[in-house]
Chains A and B, each alone.
Chain A
């Protein structure tokens, strides 16, 4: 779960406002699509329910789980939508699909596969990423060592200055924080 504790009240308000705006757009577009393509929308709504759930559960900014589950879930839903489009595109036909246990099993199994993929693959990828980062850090350290051998320790002056400034800033923040705390 993403924590919003580090966001300021203004940022939170902005986020809420944007969320309301998106919901409005979704409702408008959804209503429009429901009017012109009601059978497709019925199949999509019931078939993509796991994605909706994933979207609700997934509070991350990137919405990776939603995209992953949604994309795989859609693979399960899409053949039935195509059947609607190529055969009888009616609400009855759509209701037939959503009440067909096998069809729903296919759609939800696809979603489940999506979830499975999302549960397992990131860990494996993260291990690779960690190894790659460590190699990159070692390479950069090697470059720095070569620079120090050629130019002496003073080549790190900019970094030292930056660190000192950060320390000073930290101290100042600490002092003002203490003062704020004491005054508060």
Chain B
């Protein structure tokens, strides 16, 4: 990749930054203009991220040297298959959530569009950066925007959940800093690729310090990903957040997963000597505990919002345990599962709001919202919800059933393919061993199937209660703008199913390059500097 298109790597960070800054200049009366700018930027990100994925799939690791400083000294942005995959996922889910929000939610509070763009900037930056401290900065950008968004719509419930969410994430950020600075103190570098090189030459005493640093750092990401003992904040915060915000938050917990996947394979791969596979045992145990916890939560949920939040935990647990197995086949399956489950949970969060609109709890929240934010625009809000089209309940019901199939991992949709790929890889004994399957693999299989069963049970129960046997049938008034993004997200999972072959090939290529990080390291450390035009020879 040369010339102008090389600068495309930084576009997913710069574009939302510029759009977010621009949006700040207009006040809340210019809603139409703000919505247009936000939409334009988010749709442009879809195009850019697809283009970047094409580039990442054909060429080796693309590196962007910020300020033209050579790699270990300056900060780098790195584009490889994994980061491109996450960018594409982000842009699609964000577009759906945004279109959904434009029907109504964006008017429920101030600065929705600005915060939305900054959230995208933080997410994209976290996926692209190749530097630990820069990762912290993008993490904070993302979190600061999410603090604003979790409170979007206000009301005592959201403020209470937001208070807990912010306190826990601030504490986790301090752990992040302690971890990063310990790693810097030991190795003298913050560049991830350079770290992977230096780890093999560490003295025994330093190695222990580095592992402590990595462990502290890991805790920060596990809080974000929601591993079991650290996940009690998640269901509350996610279930009270406004629907489009919750849909994007489904992606936020995948950032923790992404970083763990990236760092554990890059830094603690086979080349790390005695530190190889550091923490993988903990990830397997913790991941399985998370699946069990999420599963119980899914069955016990009395409200759909909590059901979806616990599904986020089940998905996180499945992925964490898969990362702990550190096997290329399992990683490929896990990546497919990650994409499928993130889209599913995102769509479910959006759908829930539409379904519950007929049952009043959401209307209650909205009433509180209008009260807190100023009841002047109450009529405008009512007007927006207006268009009820025929067959609403049927469409909602079908979407709900599809979400159930996806969550449970039943054929024919992509939830099944993801789980099937995971199980097939887990139950295939690794080459070189004498054919035995680990007991952990059996337990994982059992948990994965049981969690599917739990999701099916719970979704069935809610489906029957909502669509088949309601005490009084209330047809929710749903506007086209709200149902279309949900349908599109579900069509996307259908697309993942039909195009299962090519998608799986991409995932396998991603997994194999993650498991042999030498190419990444060489790509980053050997990245050529741009020669300034007309430079004087010194």
State yes or no: do A and B come from one complex: no
